[in-house]
Structure 1
Amino acid sequence: MITLDEVDHRLIRSLARDATQSAGALGRHLGLSQPATWRRIKRLEEAGILRGKRLRLNREALGFGVTVFLGVKLATKGRVSLEDFERAVSAIPEVQTVEHVLGLYDYRLRVVARDLADFERVLRRRIMTLPGAGAVEANVLLSEERLTGPLGL
């Protein structure tokens, strides 16, 4: 594990806000040269602290107006492997995230759909037909706020 200084923390916060910034622009903001900034970014990537850049799509603009968090309890843990379920559920395009969790449910899924009727179709025809799918609980997302900065840095 590498030691992070205040400049590293400021760099991480800047990249979390906008990962498309050039090393030169970041360096000007941080009071560093472009090469020094680039070396810090590479060091953070090599240490596994920075893991790629992610594009955030506007789901509503693409026609997906409903997001549902779905808790899924596997019906027969002994008969269906977790890997089989994960592989099958990950192949469903509407399923944005698959999280194996501890608690009442075995998995937490983030599912997008065009509307509630479309979600019902995805649930009935795709998710409930998966190997081992048992009880489910759906929570419809009403609004979403993003916390500023990564991990409170």
Structure 2
Amino acid sequence: MIDLDDTDRAILRALLADGGLSAKAVGEATGLSQPAAWRRIRRLEEAGVITGRHITVNADALGYGVSVFLGIKLAGRGRASLADFERAVTAIPEVQLVQHVLGLYDYRLKVVARDIADFERILRRRIMTLPGVGDVESNVLLSSETRPLPI
């Protein structure tokens, strides 16, 4: 873990608001020169605090109007069944998130689909046929709000 000062936190807040900012723009937003901002950004990257910069794509604009969270309980147990499931599920493009979790289910997935009929097709033909799938629970996303980490 790295110790962050107020300037580091300001840099992170600026980059969380807009990951495409240049070092010059980050410097202007935080009161640093471009070289000083660049050095600090680089240090945060090297320490693993910043692991990448991403764009956000509107799924609705691309025709994916339905998001569904699935709880998956595997029928079989063991390292081989986990690896087989993970390898197969990550090959499905509509599966946007795969989380191995503790609790009632073994995995939590986020699946995007064009509509409910498309989701049903993905569920029946792709997810239910994956190796080791036992119980499945679906939760259709009605709305969401993404919040940045408190820095």
Q: CA RMSD in A?
A: 1.1
Identity between Structure 1 and Structure 2 (%): 65
Which 4+ stretches in 1 moved above 4 angstroms? none
Greater shift, 72-81 or 59-68, is seen at: 72-81
Structure-1 separation of matches of 2:76 and 2:82: 10
Give the drift of 1:79. Answer: 8.3
Write out per-residue CA displacement over residues 75-108 of structure 1, whole angstroms, 9 at most, x where no aligned residue: 1114852111111000000000000000000000
Alignment-derived partner of residue 87 in structure 1: 87
Any conservation in 1 of the 2:19–2:55 contact (CA below 8 Å)? no
- 1:103 aligns with 103
Given that residues 80 and 131 in structure 1 are in contact (C-alpha distance below 8 angstroms), is that contact kept between their aligned partners in structure 2? no
Structure 1 unaligned spans of 5+: none
| CA distance in 2 between partners of 1:141 and 1:121 (Å) | 18
Q: The residue matched to 2:38 in structure 1 has which SS? A: helix
d(CA) in 2 for partners of 1:79 and 1:55?
34
Amino acid at match of 2:9: H
Determine helix, strand or coil for the equivalent of 1:61: helix
5+ residue gaps, structure 2? none
Q: How many residues align?
A: 151
Are 1:75 and 1:133, in contact at CA under 8 Å, matched by a contact in 2? yes
Displacement of 1:2: 2.1
Aligned residue for 2:67?
A: 67
Change (3 A) 1:79 1:44: closer
In 1: Cα distance, 2:79 partner to 2:22 partner: 51
State the shift of 1:5 in Å.
0.2
Is 2:27 the counterpart of 1:27? yes
* Aligned-residue offset at 1:64: 0.3
Q: TM-score, with normalisation over the residues of structure 2? A: 0.97
1:130 and 1:79 mapped to 2: Cα distance? Answer: 16
Query: TM-score by structure 1 length?
Result: 0.96
**Aligned residue number for residue 40 of structure 1:** 40
CA–CA distance in structure 1, aligned partners of residues 107 and 79 of structure 2? 17
